[in-house]
């Protein structure tokens, strides 16, 4: 074919193809042979479609980040930056906002069992993570993940 067709299609378990509309194409340009089993050999998925699928997957972390004690991002998903507010207080800023601020944050510290991590504020675009030890705030390497519907 000399043209590109973009549409949503569904192939069910029995191999039946549904959701194909041909309107506006020349007669005979799409027939049973064209849509035969294994007729499609290459498929291109746009980068945005993959990101959207990861963002909308039920039960998957919508945001996760591993950042150093200076706030430098080591690895992340859906994180634009980490702001170092002061000793032991960092704000994780999201690339894409989440649906609401009633989400769950799981936070942990690397190689330190005597400090307490917690989240002090949550918005749809950021979460503030804190680390505390004994009598004061302290900078630590943090791992955090955010889950929401």
Select the more confidently predicted residue: 40 or 122: 122
CA–CA separation, 34 vs 147, rounded Å?
A: 43
pLDDT mean over 73-94: 96
Strands 104-109, 142-147: parallel, antiparallel or unpaired by DSSP? Answer: antiparallel
What pTM does this model have? 0.63
Residue owning tokens 């194409």: 25
Q: How far apart are the first and last CA of the chain?
A: 42
| Confidence grade of residue 60 (pLDDT, cut at 50, 70, 90) | confident
Q: Are strands 89-94 and 79-86 parallel, antiparallel or unpaired?
A: antiparallel
Q: Is the pLDDT of residue 69 over 50?
A: yes
């Amino acid at each position: 074919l000399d043209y590109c067709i973009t549409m949503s299609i569904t192939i069910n378990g029995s191999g039946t193809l549904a959701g194909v509309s041909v309107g506006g194409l020349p007669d005979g340009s799409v027939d049973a042979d064209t849509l035969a089993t294994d007729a499609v050999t290459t498929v291109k998925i746009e980068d945005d479609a993959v990101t959207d699928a990861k963002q909308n997957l039920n039960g998957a972390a919508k945001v996760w980040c591993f950042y150093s004690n200076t706030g430098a991002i080591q690895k992340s998903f859906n994180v634009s930056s980490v702001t170092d507010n002061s000793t032991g207080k960092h704000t994780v800023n999201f690339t894409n906002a989440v649906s609401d601020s009633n989400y769950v944050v799981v936070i942990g510290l690397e190689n330190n069992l005597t400090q307490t991590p917690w989240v002090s504020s949550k918005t749809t675009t950021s979460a503030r993570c804190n680390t505390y030890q004994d009598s004061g705030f302290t900078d630590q390497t943090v791992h955090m993940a955010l889950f929401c519907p």
